[in-house]
Amino acid sequence: MGQEIDSARFTHRDFETFARRLREETQLLAKWFTEQRFEDTSPIGGFELEAWLVDRDCKPAPLNEVFLEKLANPLVVPELAKFNVELNTTPHRLAGSALSRMHRELQATLDACNRVAAELGAEVVTIGILPTVGASDLSLRNMSSLQRYRALNEQVLRLRGGRPLQLDIAGRERLRVEHGDVMIESAATSLQVHLQVRQSEAGRFYNASKVLAAPMVAACANAPYFYGKDLWDETRIPVFEQAVDVTGEEPAAGAPSRVTFGMDYVRESLLDCFRVNLDYYDILLPRLFDDPPERLSHLRLHNGTIWRWNRPLIGLSQQNGKAHLRIEHRVVSAPNSIPDTIANAALFFGLAQYYAHRQPPPESELSFQAARRNFYQAAQHGLDARILWLAGETVSVRELLIKELLPHAREGLDSLRLDASDVERYLGIISHRLRRDQNGTAWQRAYVARHGPDMTALLRAYLSNQRSGAPVSEWDL
């Protein structure tokens, strides 16, 4: 979805031509997998961090056009809503001081963002769901002026037969709302961690990312409130899934969701996912490219309109055009601070490295159905969730993280030869968070329990703590 398109309107011929090129590019991709054509590199990491622009009243500030023009930083790009932007890192080989280099780079980018935002009477905040966002903010007048977003809205509503989107989320409270367009998706902001891996290991890394989705979403939850309701620990998960629901009221048998945990582990290679894309998913954006088939432009655009919580990506090197494979781990909420951001990414990098090489493979000991149930249990109940783990035992996800997963994450990061001081620093942040039982969701709920459900006051206190640069485990109320 990062690719811009020329028009929001398409013809029947556009869909037919796109479908033909998508088949051809999927066949070409299969040939590349057979020939092992992908870059053979040690793990490379990075991430995308979605953020909000808010005004002095702590309301969404739809200023991203003028903000991005004044900022003029290619690492910061627009998102669906005019009050959202996305901060990116450059890719870093996961060795040596990679984690602290990511930290410094993100800090410099965010500092520049806040300087420009201040000139506009605004501020940048990272949080899974902005507690002060209202239905009137999530309107088409606040949609970023890019054709791909207009087209996405039109095509989602087309597949729904024009029916409005329905949100029905049962958590600590219940929220039922109807919304006429996909702008409600912009309420959910995340940290999307990218991991480039060798072709020979990509399937194992992908399956490990699914097994690890439950503990990751629990450890990093930061989105309990939406429209003033206390819902899931990570309410972003059901909001996003229901905000781009193309199935409507009477879904066809077996019709998959566009935002999904997936249909299975990969059995042969990541090619399995792209075959599923071709066979099961309607084309949303049939933008036609003049690129040669080797650019895989249609395949990559189609894949960008299927939001798996763990998404396989095909990247192309800007230097030599050679393809590489990445895992995009999308389950993590936009974090509370820069140290939390790097710590969350480090936790995933370390756990993925460990479990992708573990024998026996974790996917052989935990069924896909169990991994999916675990994910939704953890999204709903956070660190209080109980999940089925590899030994067939139901365990507390918090205790699992403390006693088993943190040591394994350390083993994984050590095997990558990352600086020991960085490993200790960032996994120490996770350890302190778990032992204090205070992730972003826990802090937000504790604030409301003490001060009452004033969402503006909550966000002011949140912003004050975020400005301090301290991890959320150290925040006060």
Residue 3 has pLDDT above 60, yes or no: no
pLDDT of residue 145: 87
pLDDT digits over 280-299, tens only? Answer: 999 999 999 999 999 999 99
First-residue to last-residue Cα distance in the chain: 38
Calpha distance 312→315 (Å, rounded) = 10
Give the chain's count of helices (H) and strands (E): 16, 16
Output the pLDDT for position 250.
46
| Residue 39: C-alpha distances to residues 35, 266, 268, 350 (Å) | 12, 20, 18, 21
Within a domain: 7: no
Of the candidate ranges 124-133, 159-168, 272-281, 391-400, the one whose mean pLDDT is the lowest:
159-168
Interatomic CA distance for residues 263 and 97, integer angstroms = 37
Whole-number Å distance between alpha carbons of 328 and 352: 12
Take residue 208 and report the two structure tokens written for it: 């490990």
The token pair that represents 347 in the structure block: 């936790």
The whole-number pLDDT of residue 42 equals 84
Q: What is the pLDDT of residue 246?
A: 81
Q: How far apart are CA 252 and CA 271, in angstroms?
A: 25
The CA distance from 124 to 132, in Å, is 14
pLDDT surpassing 70 at residue 227: yes
Q: Specify the pLDDT at position 248.
A: 52
Say what the pLDDT of residue 4 is: 47
27-42 core/surface letters (b: 16 or more CB in 10 A; e: else): eebeebbeeeebbeee
User: What's the pLDDT tens digit per position in 191-200?
Assistant: 999 999 999 9
SS3 content of the chain, % helix, strand, coil (to 5): 50, 20, 35
Within-domain flag for 239: yes
Establish if 214 belongs to a structural domain. yes
CA gap 42, 15 in Å, rounded: 38
Closest CA to 192 of 44, 346, 334, 47: 47
Measured N-to-C along each axis, helices 406-415 and 420-436 cross at an angle, to the nearest 10 degrees, of 170
Give the domain CATH number at 402: 3.30.590.20
Our measurement of the distance from residue 220's CA atom to the centroid of its chain's CA atoms, rounded to an integer in Å, reads 12
**CA quadruple 304, 89, 208, 326: dihedral sign:** positive
In a domain, 206, yes or no: yes
pTM, two decimals, is: 0.96
Inter-residue contact 91 to 46 (CB < 8 Å): yes
Contact in structure between 428 and 439 (CB atoms under 8 Å): no
Domain that holds residue 190: 12-471
> Does residue 3 lie within any of the structural domains?
no
Residue 321, Cα to own-chain centre: how many angstroms? 26
Beta strands in 401-474 (DSSP E): none
When pLDDT is averaged across residues 351-364 and rounded to a whole number, the result is 98
> Does position 218 have pLDDT exceeding 70, yes or no?
yes
* Any domain includes 2: no
pLDDT at 8: 56
3-state secondary structure of 323: strand
Q: Where are the alpha helices (DSSP H) in 36-97?
A: 64-71
pLDDT per position as a tens digit, 64-116:
999 999 999 999 999 999 999 999 999 999 999 999 999 999 999 999 999 99
Domain count across the chain: 1
Instruction: Write the pLDDT tens digit of every residue in 372-381.
Output: 999 999 999 9
Q: Which amino acid is at 297?
A: S
Of 456, 439, 446, 442, give the one whose Cα is nearest residue 337: 439
Q: Measured at the alpha carbon of residue 358, what is the angle toward residues 352 and 364, in degrees to the nearest 5? A: 100
Give the angle subtended at the CA of 285 by the CAs of 284 and 290, to the nearest 5°: 145
How much of the chain exceeds pLDDT 70, in percent?
A: 97
Residue 477 falls inside a structural domain: no
Residues 260, 303 contacting (CB under 8 angstroms) = no
Mean pLDDT, the chain, as a whole number?
A: 95
Task: Write the pLDDT tens digit of every residue in 126-180.
Answer: 999 999 999 999 999 999 988 888 988 998 888 888 889 999 999 999 999 999 9
- The reply to whether 1 falls in a domain is no
Q: Which pairs from 247-256 meet CB under 8 Å and 24+ separation? A: 247/160, 248/159, 248/160, 248/161, 248/163, 249/163, 254/280, 256/280, 256/281
**Lookup result for tokens 């280099």:** 101
For residues 114 and 109, what is the distance between their CA atoms, to the nearest angstrom? 9
Give how far the C-alpha of residue 470 lies from the chain's centroid of Cα atoms, to the nearest Å: 23
